[in-house]
Amino acid sequence: MTKGDMGHVFIVGVPRSGTTLVRDLISRHPEVAMPQDEFQLIPFLIKRFGSKAKLHDTDINRYLTIVKRSAFYHHRKADTPLGNWRPKRATLPEVISETLRHFAPKETFSDLRYVGDKTPNNLLYLEAITESFPRSKFIHVVRDPRDVALSARKAWKKSLIRAAHQWQRGVAAAYHFAQKHPDNILTVRYEDLLADSRTELLGVCNFLNLQFDESLLELTGSREKMGDAAGYPGVKTDNAGKFEAALSEHEHELFTSYIHKEMAEFGYECAKPRNTRDFSQLELAILSLYDLMGSTLRHIKDKGLIGGIRYRLAQILLR
């Protein structure tokens, strides 16, 4: 496969579902290259320029300005500054591919068959990305939503109810996409990956039509920055079922009352709640503001007042 024919693989899932672990494992394959941070920009760039747009010099300048202002570049500029780098190709998908290769920590691209990205929220833009990258392969990582919500609460002080809604919306997006494009998406359960990494990674390699490589099992570090697996040197096999000790009986009952049916479809068992609930748009709007405040305060704590606000605005405006 030549660079011009290179495939694209995108790792997606509800945030805090284990997508970072999957990227860290898959990107060890000698024929796969991915940046070690979330690019985050693909849906925004498609809206801004068009899915197949040919970019002229002025467009490339705008493109590079967008990248340099992004949260992604905030993380990568120290290790991989753009400097005078400019993409050589013209269409938006080609330019994005070159950008992902530029930031991927590979010593050589001679054997490369896939370039890709791990941005969890791309889960909500599968059709748009497929329009730009028709041969895309998506690896959808799904995790017990109770652990997802617990991890999001620890990391960002996120509300459990809004986390439940985002999980429901995310798995529904993957389901509907799979009905139309069954050969383009593979769902990997995080718990299965922890329990039997070899079998799950063999499945991923088969999905991508890649030869299994033992290096995939030799993870010695992690780019995970938050949660119980932060910086853990390898696959943290006990990082599941944390909700059992952390959620109160009331929290568990409330949480599952919204999404117990969807949980059962993915094999996440829970007692049938005494009452079932539907999400209220007003409730979600209020919780969205609560979550925005919590995540912004966390970034201010990490980066200072100006840096935290600037970083959070870059995340919001470039979606």
Residue 299: predicted pLDDT: 65
Q: Is 12 exposed, middle or buried (0-12, 13-18, 19+ CB in 10 A)?
A: buried
Considering the entire predicted model, what is its pTM? 0.89
Domain ranges within the chain, ordered by starting residue = 3-317
Strands 7-12 and 185-189: unpaired
Question: Residue 27, Cα to own-chain centre: how many angstroms?
Answer: 14
Instruction: Give the count of beta carbons closer than 10 Å to the beta carbon of residue 4.
Output: 8
Residue 111: predicted pLDDT: 79
Question: Residue 117, Cα to own-chain centre: how many angstroms?
Answer: 8
Residue 167: predicted pLDDT: 96
Residue 4: predicted pLDDT: 45
Q: Which helix (H) or strand (E) holds 224?
A: none
Report, as ranges of residue numbers, the positions in the chain whose pLDDT lies below 50. 1-4
3 state DSSP class of 78: coil
d(CA 4, CA 130): 17
Half-sphere exposure of 103 (CA within 13 A, CB side): 25
CATH of domain 3-317: 3.40.50.300
Instruction: Give the count of beta carbons closer than 10 Å to the beta carbon of residue 302.
Output: 11
